Amino acid sequence: MPDRLVSDEEISMVNARMAALQVGTNSCSDRFNTVVLPSQDDDAWDVYVLAATTDPDLIQIGGHTRVRVSREDSEVLSSTPLAKSCISLDKSGAGLPEGVSVAAYTVTHIVSPMPVEIHPFLSLLHDVRLAVATERGVWMISSGKIELL
């Protein structure tokens, strides 16, 4: 691997991740993955602190947090939980009658009137259809698309 210096942007991203982990974890998991993305605000990073599981049959719906962190000094600007609970869904099919399959997994979402970014992410990650009930109605999320039913 060629030698190279770590860029200022990369250092800022690592610092943002460390700051986000200080405020974005919760009791929903003892493991968390992170994703650092440019924020819509040019002076910040959006760090997703994602509750993780080692069980491939679980879809971890709750426990995820979006933390906005300053690029300049790694100050936490905001922390937004993407769910109110630690809900996880079992996709193993255990307990279903033989020959029956799941058409979609259903959750309620009370944090906002519409699904948030974690819903299409999880639908794509687990290759499942996800019905999300909010105060505005029921939304079907499938293959990266969100539609109001």
The mean pLDDT of 114-121, rounded to a whole number, is: 96
1-88 CATH: 3.10.450
Provide the pLDDT for residue 137.
97
Provide the pLDDT for residue 34.
98
DSSP state of 63: S
State how far Cα 85 lies from the chain centre. 13
pTM confidence score: 0.91
Q: Please enumerate in sequence order all residues whose Cβ is within 8 A of that of 95, keeping only pairs 6 or more positions apart, or say none.
A: none
Provide the pLDDT for residue 6.
92
Domain edges within the chain: 1-88, 103-149
The mean pLDDT of 90-107, rounded to a whole number, is: 91
Can you tell me the distance from the alpha carbon of 71 to that of 69, in angstroms, rounded to the nearest whole number? 6
